[in-house]
């Protein structure tokens, strides 16, 4: 059964390239990025793991820990890491789960029903500090994931979790946001001292509240 937004991310204990990890304990109070790969030594996934490693500081600024899942054994992962570091010019800096028994893949509904048992659905899960699933994104096998989009969405999730706003289409960090309809104009005047513009009664725009 697919995991829905707002549900608790399933906990698990697994062997990884950084030793045995309990997922919820490892997350602690951080945000989490959990993403799946079909198998080791696959071309698109090699670039994705390298890109994630290269963006470590960006994820760290947002309090996000990354973890990948592949159904190959840990020894294979370590060999694959050598290729990732060589071809992507990075140092791997986050764990890869060795999901040989497909326990994690099945917990997160990652096994593609119409393909081989090693073809995991290429899904991204963003998990909040409350261990709830905040976002899922699923990509086809031939399309590499857009990690700048993932960072953008995390920015939105973190902003909207702390302020009564939503982010409009194509929003980026520092741009204007939309005031939630549940906030009255009177309350909005207090909550948003920078002011707001009423485009329509249901569409009120204000500068991003956590940016000076």
How many residues would you count in the chain?
212
Confidence (pLDDT) at 15: 97
Confidence (pLDDT) at 112: 63
Residue 152 lies in a domain: no
Q: Do residue 129 and residue 175 come from a single domain?
A: no
Q: What are phi and psi of 211, to 5 degrees?
A: -115, 130
pLDDT in tens, 66-79: 999 998 999 999 99
Q: Do residue 48 and residue 101 come from a single domain?
A: yes
Q: How far is CA 147 from CA 157, 181, 189, in A?
A: 15, 30, 36
Q: How far is CA 29 from CA 23, 58, 108, 153, 155, in A?
A: 12, 17, 21, 19, 17
Residue 156 lies in a domain: no
- Mean pLDDT score across all residues of the chain: 92
Confidence (pLDDT) at 119: 54
pLDDT in tens, 12-41: 999 999 999 999 999 999 999 999 887 899
Confidence (pLDDT) at 121: 63
Q: Do residue 36 and residue 90 come from a single domain?
A: yes
Question: Is 68 a known active-site residue?
Answer: no
Q: Do residue 18 and residue 113 come from a single domain?
A: yes
Question: Which domain, by its residues, includes 195?
Answer: 163-206
Q: Do residue 29 and residue 131 come from a single domain?
A: yes
pLDDT in tens, 76-121: 999 999 999 999 999 999 999 999 888 998 899 887 655 555 555 6
The CATH number covering residue 127 comes to: 3.40.30.10
SS3 sequence, 24-79? HHHHCCCEEEEEEECCCCCHHHHHHHHHHHHCHHHHHHCCEEEEEEECCCHHHHHH
Q: Report which of 155, 208, 151 is spatially closest to residue 178, judged by C-alpha positions.
A: 208
Average pLDDT value for residue range 193-211: 95
**Which is higher by pLDDT, 129 or 42?**
129
How many domains would you assign to the chain?
Answer: 2
Q: Do residue 97 and residue 193 come from a single domain?
A: no
The CATH number covering residue 202 comes to: 3.30.1020.10
Sign of CA dihedral 168, 5, 125, 72: negative
pLDDT band at 135 (very low <50, low <70, confident <90, very high): very high
The pTM score is: 0.92
Average pLDDT value for residue range 129-143: 92
Residue 114: CB atoms within 10 A of its CB come to 5
Confidence (pLDDT) at 156: 97
Where do the DSSP E strands lie in the chain?
Answer: 13-16, 19-22, 31-37, 64-70, 96-98, 122-127, 133-139, 165-166, 177-179, 197-200, 203-206
pLDDT band at 138 (very low <50, low <70, confident <90, very high): confident
pLDDT in tens, 142-160: 889 999 999 999 999 999 9
- The catalytic position among 27, 34, 45, 165 is 45
pLDDT band at 1 (very low <50, low <70, confident <90, very high): low
Residues 6+ apart with CB under 8 A from 70: 36, 37, 38, 39, 40, 45, 77, 96, 97, 98, 99, 120
Residue 190 lies in a domain: yes
């Amino acid at each position: 059964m697919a995991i829905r937004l707002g549900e608790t991310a399933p906990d698990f204990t697994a062997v990884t390239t950084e030793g045995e990890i309990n997922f919820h304990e490892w997350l602690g109070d951080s945000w989490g990025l959990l993403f799946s790969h079909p198998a080791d030594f696959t071309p698109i996934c090699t670039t994705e793991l390298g890109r994630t490693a290269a963006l470590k500081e960006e994820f760290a600024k947002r309090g996000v820990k990354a973890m990948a899942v592949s159904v190959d054994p840990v020894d294979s992962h370590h060999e694959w890491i050598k290729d990732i570091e060589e071809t992507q010019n990075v140092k791997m800096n986050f764990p890869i789960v060795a999901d040989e028994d497909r326990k994690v893949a099945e917990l997160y509904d990652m096994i593609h029903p119409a393909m081989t048992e090693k073809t995991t659905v290429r899904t991204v899960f963003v998990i909040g500090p409350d261990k709830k699933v905040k976002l899922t994104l699923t990509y086809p096998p031939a399309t590499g994931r857009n990690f700048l989009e993932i960072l953008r969405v995390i920015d939105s999730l973190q902003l909207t979790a702390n302020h009564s706003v939503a982010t409009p289409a194509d929003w980026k960090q520092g741009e204007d946001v939309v005031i939630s309809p549940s906030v009255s104009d009177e309350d909005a005047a207090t909550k948003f001292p920078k002011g707001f513009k009423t485009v329509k009664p249901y569409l009120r725009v204000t500068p991003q509240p956590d940016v000076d």
